[in-house]
Amino acid sequence: MGYRAKLSILSAFAVLLIGIFLFMGLGSNWDYALPRRTVKILAIIITSIAIGFSTLVFQTITNNRILTPNILGLDSLYLLIQTFLVFLFGSTHVTMLNKNVNFAISLCFMMLFALIFYQLLFKRAGKDIYLLLLIGLILGTFFGSLTSFMQVLIDPNEFLIVQDRMFASINNVNTDLLYLSIVGIFLVGLYTLKYAKYLDVLALGREHAVNLGVDFDLVVKRLLIIVAVLVSISTALTGPMTFLGLLVINVAREFFKTYKHSILTAGTILFALIALVGGQLLIEKVFTFSTTLSVVINFIGGIYFIYLLLKENRSW
């Protein structure tokens, strides 16, 4: 089966799921339900693109199949920024009330962090993936601890507001951000077009990429910023989803068995879409909201991750 056929099947399946999600049991109150469901679907689509593509790009620049951008502590940083803003200004300040302002601040900090991380680590320890992992992990934990420390100190009412931010989910989409995110994704897409052709070559590793005329440092830096923006968007919109990226990208790799990023990108995004819409359907219809999507995704993702570790162990 060719790539095209596989992609068509996946797209058809995704469209089918979206159709079910939008129109199932719509009933007479459709003018109430449909816009709400549409918002959810839009959020899911944006999240799928952001998570799928950022994970793919991150794995390509680190040359590793079991990493996700979370290893840099990017999503813990987002939570830290939210808590810090409440801690500093209180929940009624403009930085919390105006979600667009809030988003812009978070985005700037995360891009700044990605750049610093790049300068300090990627350049110096670029070859030493273990150091990178270790420091990323420690930073993630550090951000997490700082977050809970500040949460203990703030007013309980304010804590509730922070918590609402932290457990963003698809049931609780940050609607105000939706349009900003769509614009954001669109701009990132335009910016990425220029660098997309380098992805395949980057996957060969630094030395081959330089030999083939890629300005490695510059391209990696730009791509890392793209990753930071995408992680910000998806975390702000639907909350942290640790394993989703890892899950879908590896399923896509197994399914397509190719190195071509044009196909992998489309595949990863479609798988993410299917996982999220399918998962959300499960949550709403089977579990009747007794659990959240991120729990399901992390459960399945965790199992798959262990499987991956065992399998990678025996070299493939």
Partner 1 sequence: MVEVKNVSKKYGDKLVVEDVTLKIPKQKITAFIGPNGAGKSTLLSMISRLIKKDEGEIYIDGQEIGKCKSNDLAKKISILKQSNHLNLRLTVRELVSFGRFPYSQGRLTKEDERHVDEAIRYMGLEEIEHQFLDQLSGGQKQRAFIAMVIAQDTDYILLDEPLNNLDMKHSVQIMKMLRKLVDELGKTIVIVLHDINFASVYADYIVAMKNGKMVHVGQTEQVINHSTLKHVYDMDINIQNINNCKICVYFS
Interaction site with partner 1 (CB under 8 A): 63-65, 197, 200-201, 203-205, 207-208, 210-215, 257, 259
Q: How far is the CB of 200 from partner 1 (least distance, A)?
A: 6
Q: Which is nearer to partner 1, 194 or 285 (CB)?
A: 194
Q: Which is nearer to partner 1, 176 or 215 (CB)?
A: 215
Q: Which is nearer to partner 1, 131 or 212 (CB)?
A: 212
Q: Which residues lie closer than 8 Å to 276 by C-beta, 6 or more apart?
A: 44, 47, 48, 170, 244, 293, 297
Q: How far is the CB of 206 from partner 1 (least distance, A)?
A: 8
Q: How far is the CB of 31 from partner 1 (least distance, A)?
A: 48
Q: Which is nearer to partner 1, 201 or 249 (CB)?
A: 201
Q: How far is the CB of 144 from partner 1 (least distance, A)?
A: 30
Cβ(154)–Cβ(82) under 8 Å? no
Q: Which is nearer to partner 1, 63 or 192 (CB)?
A: 63
Q: How far is the CB of 23 from partner 1 (least distance, A)?
A: 40
One-letter identity of residue 61: I
